[in-house]
Amino acid sequence: MFCFTFTGDVIKSVGEELWKEVENAYTDSGKITDEILSALSFVYQSSLLPALDLVDHRNVSHMTSPSGRSIYQVIGSSGTPYTCFTTSFYCSCPSFRYSVLMKDDHLMCKHVLAIKLSEAMKLTKALEITDDEMATLLKTIE
């Protein structure tokens, strides 16, 4: 009997390959195949469906300022805006702190996953904000 254990690095690597597949499939046909959705569900588990719902509702925005600063904001299912950084997979939501950082049982929260999906599908809203607005947003991050 064989027992396979996947390390976080292996799953992250598989995830990166999946993002390429999502982008290619969505570019080619305007949809994500059932096979890719199944693979995403395996890697990201319970976060996938809520993330897809956030993308469907176009709740993902990429905000940039004249100084070159850049953040993402995702309006959560309850209407609460969460600030996210994809370079560190950080999100200001409570689920990120608990499930990703403390329990380490999720690779990312649904908001960061929604950003990854939205970017791969080219459905992210692009917003230009002032440097003062960016500073205000950055100051409110917990």
- Do the domain assignments include residue 95? yes
pLDDT at 2 (0 to 100): 45
Query: Which residue in 81, 82, 80, 79 sits closest to 90, CA to CA?
Result: 82
* Cβ–Cβ under 8 Å, residues 110 and 117: no
The answer to whether residue 124 sits within a structural domain is yes
User: Is 131 among the domain residues?
Assistant: yes
Q: CA–CA separation, 84 vs 87, rounded Å?
A: 9
Residue 141: predicted pLDDT: 83
Is 67 contained in some domain? yes
Identity of the residue numbered 112: V
**In this structure, what is the dihedral angle of CA atoms 29, 30, 31, 33, given to the nearest 10 degrees?**
20
Average pLDDT, the chain: 86
pTM of structure = 0.83
Number of domains in the chain: 1
Average pLDDT score over residue span 8-32: 80
Does residue 14 surpass a pLDDT of 80? Answer: no
Q: Which domain holds residue 67?
A: 46-139
Tell me whether residue 26 is in a domain: no
User: By percentage, how much of the chain surpasses pLDDT 70?
Assistant: 87
pLDDT digits (tens, 9 = 90+) for 74-131: 999 999 999 998 777 789 998 888 877 777 767 788 999 999 999 999 999 999 999 9
